[in-house]
Structure 1
Amino acid sequence: MKKLSIIFCICTLLLSNLLAGCGSKEPAPAADHKLRVVVTFNAMKEFTQAVGQDKIHITSLIPDGTEPHDFQPTTKTMQALSKADILIYNSTGMERWVEQATQAAANPKLVIVEAAKGTDRISLTEADEIRAHGQYDPHTWLSLSCAQQEVKNIAEALAAADKANADFYRKNAEKYNQKLQSLLAAYQKKFSKLEQKDFVTGHAAFAYLCRDFGLQQQSIED
């Protein structure tokens, strides 16, 4: 009986720690009135965090190391969407599951923001790519020029949802975009000096980056 009591106590402690750990992964409570912002993957998280900083709670739906193209929404995805104020995703070609997932989450107050809206998109020409992504190449965030438009869109969405901090979001977006513009100018100068403009990649995801810098990608995927 003594051994059983010890085992029971150990199991109870382990279960308590496990539940506490699970609880820590849930979006933070809104008692502090910060916006609950859900983003799809890490690039959207970086942009949104740069703009929102400590004024928002941010949750990423797609875990680091997970291929965004292959992601399938889970129960945890639905829970996060049901509690969020804002969802920020890149584009319909990248996260084709967004519309269905938001409908299933049934959150009438959720504001849905397409970060790539207004960017200068590159049309796809291959049939397989069009079937997979739609009319346009979805990898807009990999361009330092398109990324600046995405940051502006995110800032305006946060400003509209949290008017008291609107100037804060817009100023942060301006500072971040200045950094992106500096990188763009610096590497345009560097790449302009190269004689060889081609590079090899697995997935042909870098058309926007190539346009920024006058490069040419050669994909080894069929």
Structure 2
Amino acid sequence: MKYTRIYILLTVLLLLTACGGKQAGGKVVTVTIEPQRFFAEKIAGDKFAIHCVVPSGQSPETYDPTPKQMVQIGRSAAYLQIGYIGFEQVWMQKIRENNPDLKIFDVSQGMQFMKDTEEEHQHEGHQHEAGDGHHHHHAGGVDPHIWSSIEGAKVIAWNTLNAFIELDKENTEYYWKNYNDLLAEIEKTDAEIRQLLDPLADRTFIIYHPALTYFAAEFDLTQLCIEMDGKEPSPAQLKQLVMTAKEHHTKVVFIQQEFDRKNAELIAKETGCRLVVINPLDYHWNTEMIHIAKALADGQTD
């Protein structure tokens, strides 16, 4: 009798596990970066699980997926790509070839893209060495960091809404409600950022990797970049950057967690700027956007 009960219990557990795995496998959508997961989860609610490929703390310019992640992508109902980021430039074609039935949506569709400009110490064709020998780059000099702006967030949200409606038309009303809630959250974030930044007199900041191009354009700021062509700057370039920063009365140097702090610390010391760690790839998109704006505002009061 005892063994019969154990057998029944094990059978039930196996059935529940099988059902749960089947449901999760059929209701998963994959995204490239954590901010996308934020937008996708807001709209998908409890209808889809969202899987993110590039882990927190890793650069999507140079990241290569594990074999396990490639299998997870293949089991997804769809893939939402962000557009022109290095990871996708290298891997999307392989993902398509390996998964011909996978639905792929580009959530950057309709975005007015900006190009890297030398005027702001940015250069076309950023290249990075990946672990497998690939050169990850921004295709055609296009800046891919559209999520670091209000307009980019709205574009991503709109395209994400339409993707979920196409995947699951029966719950269209549900996705629309979630989308409208998200849009209100984006508008609130915009208002908070403008309240922080509108009074600024000195509107220039330094950043290691040019991740805030759209943010700078949107809020009338000037972005000076330490990274040159995806490489460490030369002593001459560092000297010129310090001179430019002093001319613009720059108060803040941003450094992202996935990059080396050495040159950022050096420039902060030479210019008297505050060194602030930011994470534009953070899952909590709205919190991080406000954190960046607050760092710029606080710099004016030092």
Q: TM-score range by the shorter chain?
A: 0.7 to 0.9
Q: What secondary structure does 2:224 align onto?
A: strand
Please report the TM-score for the alignment, with normalisation by the length of structure 1. 0.80
For 1:126-181, what per-residue CA distance to the aligned partner results, in whole angstroms no more than 9, with x for missing partners? Answer: 33339820232100000112111101100110011101111111211111111111
Q: What secondary structure does 1:113 align onto?
A: strand
Query: CA distance change for structure 1 residues 57 and 162 in 2, over 3 Å: closer, same or farther?
Result: same
More helix by share: 1
- The reply on whether 1:101 has 2:94 as its aligned counterpart is yes
For 1:11-31, what per-residue CA distance to the aligned partner results, in whole angstroms no more than 9, with x for missing partners? Answer: xxxxxxxxxxxxx9xxx6243
- 2:79 corresponding residue in structure 1: 87
- The reply on whether 1:154 has 2:146 as its aligned counterpart is no
- 2:239 corresponding residue in structure 1: none
The whole-number CA distance in structure 1 between the counterparts of 2:111 and 2:56 is 25
Task: Give the C-alpha shift of residue 92 in structure 1.
Answer: 2.8
Task: Give the C-alpha shift of residue 218 in structure 1.
Answer: 1.1
Q: Of residues 54, 69, 75 in structure 2, which corresponds to 1:62?
A: 54
The whole-number CA distance in structure 2 between the counterparts of 1:33 and 1:81 is 10
- 1:18 corresponding residue in structure 2: none
The whole-number CA distance in structure 1 between the counterparts of 2:69 and 2:223 is 34
- The reply on whether 1:127 has 2:120 as its aligned counterpart is no
- 1:178 corresponding residue in structure 2: 184
- 1:6 corresponding residue in structure 2: none
Q: What secondary structure does 1:37 align onto?
A: strand
The whole-number CA distance in structure 1 between the counterparts of 2:49 and 2:182 is 19
The whole-number CA distance in structure 1 between the counterparts of 2:221 and 2:85 is 23
Q: Of residues 189, 198, 206 in structure 1, which corresponds to 2:212?
A: 206
Number of residue pairs matched by the alignment: 195
8 Å Cα contact 1:81/1:107 also seen in 2:
no
Query: CA distance change for structure 1 residues 79 and 215 in 2, over 3 Å: closer, same or farther?
Result: same
- The reply on whether 1:39 has 2:31 as its aligned counterpart is yes
- 2:43 corresponding residue in structure 1: 51
Query: CA distance change for structure 1 residues 107 and 82 in 2, over 3 Å: closer, same or farther?
Result: farther
8 Å Cα contact 2:89/2:139 also seen in 1:
no
The letter of the residue matching 1:182 is K
Percent identity between the two aligned chains: 24
- 2:300 corresponding residue in structure 1: none
The whole-number CA distance in structure 2 between the counterparts of 1:168 and 1:157 is 13
- 2:221 corresponding residue in structure 1: 215
The whole-number CA distance in structure 2 between the counterparts of 1:211 and 1:127 is 18
8 Å Cα contact 1:192/1:214 also seen in 2:
no
The whole-number CA distance in structure 2 between the counterparts of 1:46 and 1:63 is 14
RMSD: 2.2
- 1:71 corresponding residue in structure 2: 63
8 Å Cα contact 2:84/2:143 also seen in 1:
no
Question: Structure 1: any 5+ residue segments left out of the alignment?
Answer: 1-23
Q: What secondary structure does 2:61 align onto?
A: helix
- 2:171 corresponding residue in structure 1: 165
Please report the TM-score for the alignment, with normalisation by the length of structure 2. 0.60
Q: What secondary structure does 2:112 align onto?
A: coil
Q: What secondary structure does 2:137 align onto?
A: helix
For 1:41-83, what per-residue CA distance to the aligned partner results, in whole angstroms no more than 9, with x for missing partners? Answer: 1111111001101111221111121111111132112201211
